[in-house]
Chains A and B, each alone.
Chain A
Amino acid sequence: MEILRFAFFRLLSMLATLLLVSALIFFIINLPPGDYLSNQIAELRATGQAAGVANAEFLRQEYSLDKSLPHQYLVWMGLLPGSHGFSGILQGDFGWSFEFDQPVADVVGQAMWMTILVNLVALLFVYIVALPLGVLAAAKSRTWVDYSTSLVGYLGLATPNFLLALILFYYGHRLFDLPIGGLMAPEFEGEPMSFAKLKSVLLHLIIPTFVIGTAGAAAMMQRLRANMLDELHKPYVTTAEAKGLPARARLIKYPLRVALNPFVADIGNLIPSLVSGSVLVSVVLGLQTIGPALLAALKSQDQFLAGFVLLFVAALTLLGTVISDVLLMLLDPRIRYGARAGTNRS
């Protein structure tokens, strides 16, 4: 029960943080002078299209862009009534994208799920690759196993993502007939989910996962190796040895178990770097994630779209830290039973 209470509390504090983040995002987006509409109006005036100007002025009022910045923020969040009453993020209305001339929800709707999918798969990839390699490198430290895993790791860290993407596409296509670009074959776009579509998505995911996850996996592997090396020579490992526990069982039961804590705590750090890394990679690889939309929105000062995308990414990140905190509590009795210590002593 304790764990549920803890999770609930962390979710509450996450929502409070998210609120703070939303304000920051909104004000930072609005820091550059002008906005999408004022830019457009200036352009229309210059070319003498009066009708367009009127339309743009109408939009300005419609979205309260003529009001003060704090007011605009509160309307965007749905805390103050706009021209159509309370209608903002809190009510599920994500606003209007001027750039795409569509509601934001329509622009990013499917991309949101694809973003979650791509990043989740990349996260799994990071952990699945880093765990065995990190443990192996630590257990065989200063041997060729350690050196070669480190070499692969550093190569992964040092290679620019888009370069890796191009190389993998080329050879992936030539040798394994892997598809190039996109997240699914074009004929499935907009289609309802089916087995064939799922298969197509998974095939398309192989290379992006490699590209997005490699750097993270390499860094994670090095951290796990370092943590393991710290633990390997602790007295409790010697105790286990003196008990007659065989080497491999010893390694897995004790040092790995302890080194796993920072490994899990890293989820919170890993998600933001994966998400921000995947934005650019998505543009290069032509993935229909939220990345390309964000880039376009930032370039044209399409504030509601940019604001929503950033808020979404922030929410993912915060959710990651909540998950890692809850997992840590499950993993580490020192956090779980911290209070029991006082009563049990003596």
Chain B
Amino acid sequence: MNPTLTVSDLTIAFGNRPPVVDLVSFSVDRGETLALVGESGSGKTLCCRSVLQILPPTAKILSGDITFKGTERSRSDENALILNLAEATEKELLKVRGNRIAMVFQEPMRSMSPLHTIGNQVSEVLHLHSECDAVEAKSIVLDEFDEVGFSDPERIYNAYPFELSGGMLQRAGIAMATVAKPDLLIADEPTTALDMTTQALVLGLLKKMQKKSAMALILVTHDLGVVANLADKVVVMNRGRVVESGTATRVLRDPVHGYTRMLIDSAAHMPDTDDSSLDKTGADSESDAPIMELIDVSKTFKSRASVPWRKPEIIKAVNHVDISLKRGSTLAVVGESGSGKSTLGRIAMGSIAPDSGGRVLFRATETSKGVDVTDMDGEQLSAFRRNAQMVFQDPRSSLSPRMQIVDAICEPLEIHQLGTKSERIDKAGQLLERVGLDNSMMRRYPHAFSGGQRQRLSIARALALEPKLLILDEPTSALDVSVQSQILDLLEQLRDDLQLSYMFISHDLAVVARIADEIAVMRRGFIVERAPTDLLLAEPKHPYTRALIAAHPEPDINKKIDLNAVAQGAGEPDSWEDAFKFQRNEIPPLQQYAPGHWLRARM
């Protein structure tokens, strides 16, 4: 018996360049889940695209077989379909794509046409591959929508992609892939673009769909936590080659290859809370004047309506936030997309003004008087800009591609007219070494650097003015796992060496767990829980915080995601337990639950 899919000695190259996928082999059978794991550039996505023969035009399969064995579907095809996809004709492929082998993509928003309804795009699969008429097709699609967890399938059927959230769209994407009952489903980083809690729920859904129909599943991912939760077999790839493969249990428990071990070690772990070595540092050192205080900060955005007679939509991005950042410490703001965390960071930087009544106080030194960031004269503003700097998420777009590294780093110094030209260049050299780069790289352009190196450059630039406060907006989210952990090391070291204070904005509780002293969890513009890191992780009280902690996929086969805990807290704020529930006119107050531990609840 052949397995559903067997890939053997697959080699793919772009043009005449050296192969980017080199002699890769794997197989997956009915009911089995195979994870293709690797960092960016490992060739994992090309491998899975080659199965459907939807490679970029310049990529060519140089050698190898991709043998697919489909199940018998009816009496008429007595012989099971066996096809070498690497040599199949376009006509044969059209019958396989979407029908026998389906695919779920990474970015749900961009993977659906913005101008066609969800129903149209999903039922298209049935129109292409089955003989059912429009009415039958619609009812099959509605059933499938019900299966993937939509409470109102009819409404989703008629909705356009821009009307749904990313998580719902990915559910629709899964429905689109499974509606024709394929033998093999390929999911290419299906949850990477989603929030933590949504990721957990979508992974749960994938597992459920697979169990139901016993299809084979290939999961392409960079996240070993995802692997631990879903996969039976693992293939670890690095630079186009398979470095290790085996059962998920074996690979995660006793990795043989150094690369696999490195991946497991650098994956973000939720710290163990069982060994409660809690030093409740929450209440002490209150006497020090904090470096930054946000007092009753709110921000309302008004979106212009597309047609003039409609009321403009009013979005309350941030609601009455009070936080203070202690000197030399790290405050993390954690939340999903749309929680208002980035808006809060921008308010703290003074780049957007809060609604009136909100104040942002900055104290350059312990003894200096607080300056209100929202109300500064030119001189104060210039001083503030030297003291507070920002590091952004995407190092590719936050460095000008037309500026040499030395110019990018010296620019802040030039703006503030510090030092002579040669002093500035010396300084740039020191900064590069400080962030772990060689100062001989000064004359290069950003494109010559990898993602992690570019993030180091962004940090060097932010440090040029010797600031006291850094606002880090998802500084590691765009990076590979191994690089992510190096950048976190660097940030920790810089904070301790230079006595910096950080405001660290992230969607990932596990990432901030290792660097933050205090964590504020945000949802819908409100802080729902705030406590020192150890306390928050050991004794999370709010259902949303619990969901965030539960949703984190651990690279440990014995610690699977507790979907119940996720589902309880990840839903709408009006679905939370009574004590935490947001009601139409009444939102519970943020109260001190224990020393240093604030909770938005009715107590």
* A binding-site residues for B, Cβ under 8 Å: 2, 5-6, 9, 234-236, 238-246, 253-254, 257-258, 331-335, 337-342, 344-346
Contact = CB atoms under 8 A, between A and B. Distances in A.
A325 to B, nearest CB: 11
Q: Of residues B94, B115, B313, which shows the largest number of chain A Cβ atoms within 10 Å of its Cβ?
A: B115
B107 A235 contact: yes
A344 B52 contact: no
B128 A244 contact: yes
17 contacts: A5-B307, A5-B309, A9-B309, A235-B106, A238-B111, A239-B173, A243-B176, A244-B96, A244-B99, A246-B94, A257-B115, A332-B115, A333-B117, A333-B162, A335-B306, A341-B163, A344-B163
Main DSSP-derived SS at the A contact region: helix
B52 A242 contact: yes
B128 A238 contact: no
Interface of B: 52, 54, 93-99, 102-103, 105-107, 110-117, 121, 124-125, 128-129, 155, 159-160, 162-165, 173, 176, 305-310, 313, 572
Given A244-B129, A337-B160, A257 B113 contact: yes
Contacts of A9: 307-309
Nearest to B167: A346
Given A238-B111, A258-B115, A337-B160, A244 B165 contact: no
Given A236-B113, A257-B115, A338-B306, A242 B128 contact: no
A234 B164 contact: no
A341 to B, nearest CB: 5
Given A244-B128, A339-B310, A239 B112 contact: yes
B97 A242 contact: yes
Given A235-B105, A339-B305, A241 B115 contact: no
A242 B114 contact: no
B111 A235 contact: yes
A344 B161 CA distance: 11
B128 A243 contact: yes
Q: Of residues A5, A258, A344, which shows the largest number of chain B Cβ atoms within 10 Å of its Cβ?
A: A344
B270 to A, nearest CB: 27
Contact of A2 (B110, B160, B163, B307): B307
A334 to B, nearest CB: 6
A240 B97 CA distance: 10
Given A238-B54, A243-B128, A344 B114 contact: no
8 interchain residue pairs of minimum CB distance? A244-B97, A243-B98, A244-B98, A338-B306, A344-B163, A242-B103, A235-B110, A235-B111
B105 A239 contact: yes
A236 B111 contact: yes
B111 A239 contact: yes
Nearest to B100: A244
B164 A344 contact: yes
Contact of A345 (B54, B163, B310): B163
Given A236-B111, A239-B112, A258-B114, A344 B103 contact: no
Nearest to B312: A339
Nearest to B96: A244
Contacts of A337: 160, 163
Contacts of B176: 239, 243
A245 B165 contact: no
Contacts of A344: 155, 159, 163-164
Contact of A258 (B95, B105, B113): B113
A234 B111 CA distance: 8
Contacts of B99: 244
Contacts of A257: 113, 115-116
A243 B116 CA distance: 15
A333 B306 CA distance: 11
Given A339-B313, A346-B572, A254 B113 contact: yes
Contacts of B124: 240, 243, 245
Contacts of B52: 241-242
Contact of B110 (A236, A253, A342): A236
B164 A236 contact: no
Contacts of B125: 243-244
A179 B407 CA distance: 67
Nearest to A237: B113
A255 to B, nearest CB: 9
Contact of A241 (B54, B95, B110, B310): B54
A139 to B, nearest CB: 13
Contacts of A6: 307
Contacts of A254: 113, 116
Nearest to A239: B111
A291 to B, nearest CB: 36
A334 B114 contact: yes
A242 B94 contact: no
Given A244-B95, A244-B96, A334-B115, 7 more contacts: A238-B105, A240-B124, A244-B99, A245-B98, A332-B115, A333-B114, A333-B115
A340 B117 CA distance: 13
Q: Of residues A9, A235, A239, which shows the largest number of chain B Cβ atoms within 10 Å of its Cβ?
A: A239
Given A236-B111, A236-B112, A338-B306, A345 B164 contact: yes
Nearest to B308: A9
Nearest to B106: A235
B305 A338 contact: yes
B217 to A, nearest CB: 15
Q: Of residues B54, B99, B155, which shows the largest number of chain A Cβ atoms within 10 Å of its Cβ?
A: B54
Contacts of A236: 110-114
Contacts of B165: 345-346
Contacts of B115: 257-258, 331-334
Nearest to B114: A334
Nearest to A255: B113
Contacts of A244: 93-99, 125, 128-129
Contacts of B121: 239
B145 to A, nearest CB: 14
Contacts of B93: 244
Nearest to B125: A243
Contacts of A238: 54, 105, 111
A8 to B, nearest CB: 10
